[in-house]
Amino acid sequence: MKKFISKNTKSINILLLLIAISFLGFIAYKLYLAPVKGIEAKSIYLLKEYGYIILFAWSILEGELGLIMAGIMVRLKEMDLYLAILIAGIGGFAGDQIYFFIGRNNKDYVRKKAAKHNEKFEKAHYLLEKYGWPIIFLQRYMYGLRTVIPISIGLTHYSAKKYAIINLISGIIWAAITITLAYIFGEELIKILNTIKENLHIIIPSGLTLLFIFLFYIKVLKKKN
């Protein structure tokens, strides 16, 4: 695995893209075959049948939305709380390990590409030097630096074994906090989702209008500059 990763980061990106496309294709295929009618009913059926697989894949990307959905599924007694936390934690761990080894085994390539995001990498190195290993816990909650920090740590001489241990503990804690909170407030979240569903005829046009205004404002601002 390590030898394969070290060939070049582009190959890894292509592999991850193919995995993502295959996974989405699998989900779409299973949605089509679901023995129920309606996209909502099909989605619920899919979560019941393949919830843990979806949770693991989603956790690799470190998306809290997947963990929140897992918490709601636990509340509905469609998932086991401890198993969901374990699977999500391992998924989060696996995702960061991939980024870490991309940095560790492709240093020259990553440094070359990092020039485009120099500010982010400089910030990541600064945080690592200032806070040390606790930054491995904190980075999961840092929007914009979630992938940069593991890659940045990989570029240093930081122990791969120590990183893996801390990363695993961090992933489990991250999953436990998010899923448990979603489980505790599951009823409220379900009510919110139902409210959104009932008012989609208002929310969608309003959202599109706001998006149009925002994009128009950005375009005007660019012309002025």
Give residue 83's pLDDT.
93
Give residue 74's pLDDT.
87
* Predicted confidence (pLDDT) at residue 191 exceeds the cutoff of 90: no
Q: Give 67 or 2, the one with higher predicted confidence.
A: 67
Q: Give 92 or 125, the one with higher predicted confidence.
A: 92
* Predicted confidence (pLDDT) at residue 88 exceeds the cutoff of 70: yes
Least confidently predicted of 72-76, 101-105, 204-208: 204-208
* Predicted confidence (pLDDT) at residue 82 exceeds the cutoff of 90: yes
* Predicted confidence (pLDDT) at residue 5 exceeds the cutoff of 50: no
* Predicted confidence (pLDDT) at residue 2 exceeds the cutoff of 60: no
* Predicted confidence (pLDDT) at residue 39 exceeds the cutoff of 50: yes
Closest CA to 158 of 114, 113, 196, 124: 124
CA count, 13 A, side-chain hemisphere, 26: 12
- Domain range list for the chain: 2-184, 191-225
Q: Which of 48-52, 98-102, 167-171, 209-213 reaches the highest mean pLDDT?
A: 167-171
In the chain the beta strands, taken as DSSP E runs, fall at none
Give residue 4's pLDDT.
39
Give residue 6's pLDDT.
44
> Which 3-state string (H, E, C) describes 52-77?
HHHHHHHHHCCCHHHHHHHHHHHHCC
Q: Give 91 or 128, the one with higher predicted confidence.
A: 91
CA 51 to chain CA centroid, nearest Å: 16
Give residue 85's pLDDT.
94
- Amino acid letter for position 160: A
DSSP 115: G
pLDDT class of 1 with cuts at 50, 70, 90: very low
pLDDT > 90 in the chain, percent:
10
Q: What is the mean pLDDT of the chain?
A: 75
Give residue 40's pLDDT.
58
Least confidently predicted of 9-23, 102-116, 147-161: 9-23
Give the global pTM.
Answer: 0.67
Closest CA to 8 of 101, 96, 92: 101
* Predicted confidence (pLDDT) at residue 53 exceeds the cutoff of 70: yes
